[in-house]
Amino acid sequence: MRKNLVSSAAAALALGLALTACGSGSDSGAGGGDDTLVVGATPVPAGEVLAYVKDNLAADAGLTLEIKEFTDYVLPNTALQEGSLDANLYQNEPYLDDFNEAKGTDLVPVVKAYLPPMGVYSKRVADVADLADGATVAVPNDTTNEGRALKLLAAEGIITLKDGAGADASPADVAENPRNLRFKELEPAQLPRSLDDVDAAVINNNFAQDAGLNPAKDAVLLESAENNPYANLLAVKRGNEDDPRVEKLADLLTSADVRKFIEDKYQGSVLPVTAG
């Protein structure tokens, strides 16, 4: 069953302490009494990019950075709205817009940092065109990522979506399905584990990499960076866009150093979207 963004918020909040890492001092960040900028992120690639900034660039820029890692998509925004984070890095703008609408939050983008392309993965076919009649394809069950997954399949001609189907497209918006694909809606974090049970799964980049998949090598279909609206961005609560610490981090995330780090480390599995 497809889920709205609000459906798992309570459970995520209960798990908050277990899902954070990389420091938790009570005197640091998010109003804790010093100049530390506390940034929430999913581990890969956002956490790795931020760790590179923290270890190599932040001190020279006069920035003290604390990273808190989360393994879901709800709590980083909830924590940002409530003030236990100063910023986060993990989501794209369509997701942020949908979250704000669903939750009544007031979060805004600051700068786009990189594109983690969504991909189709399979243990049963080497090409998405080889999916058999009646194949089962697992897709994310949150509104934005499910629409993104279906648009990826539609761009390859595997399905056709109804005219006007937007970022919130669901299986109900499939107009033509010549392979009679069956869509299995799952929590995004569960998708890599579903590969033994389905013919293919459309998986977000961070969860693919967390599971040891290499998007550039293992995906049977991968998003293109061209005209792609799903670049991950640094976000803050409205009113904090001009915080000098946030501005410093935004500059570092769009620097030539970070661009080179992304290119060298991810080898096409994550794509920089800005140049320094």
Per-residue pLDDT tens over the stretch 144-184: 899 999 999 999 999 999 999 988 999 999 999 999 999 99
* Confidence band for 143, pLDDT divided at 50, 70 and 90: confident
pLDDT at 235 over 90: yes
- Same-domain pairing of 26 and 44: yes
- Same-domain pairing of 191 and 150: yes
- Same-domain pairing of 136 and 207: yes
Range(s) of the domain holding residue 206: 119-222
Question: Where among 222, 238, 258 does a domain terminate?
Answer: 222
Query: At which residue do the structure tokens 């999913």 appear?
Result: 42
37 touches 86 (CB < 8 A): yes
- Same-domain pairing of 111 and 172: no
- Same-domain pairing of 104 and 141: no
- Same-domain pairing of 20 and 103: yes
* Confidence band for 3, pLDDT divided at 50, 70 and 90: low
- Same-domain pairing of 92 and 166: no
Task: Give the three-class secondary structure for 152.
Answer: helix
Terminal CA-CA length for the chain: 43
- Same-domain pairing of 130 and 111: no
Could you tell me which residue, 33 or 255, shows the higher pLDDT? 255
Rounded CA-CA distance 64/120 in Å is 38
- Same-domain pairing of 162 and 62: no
pLDDT digits 0-9 by tens, 62-95:
999 999 999 999 999 999 999 999 999 999 999 9
- Same-domain pairing of 128 and 53: no
Task: Give the three-class secondary structure for 114.
Answer: strand
Question: Where among 183, 202, 222 does a domain terminate?
Answer: 222
Domain CATH code at residue 41: 3.40.190.10
Phi, psi of 239 (to 5 degrees): 105, -15
- Same-domain pairing of 14 and 88: yes
pLDDT digits 0-9 by tens, 28-42:
456 444 799 999 999
Count of domains observed in the chain: 2
- Same-domain pairing of 158 and 76: no
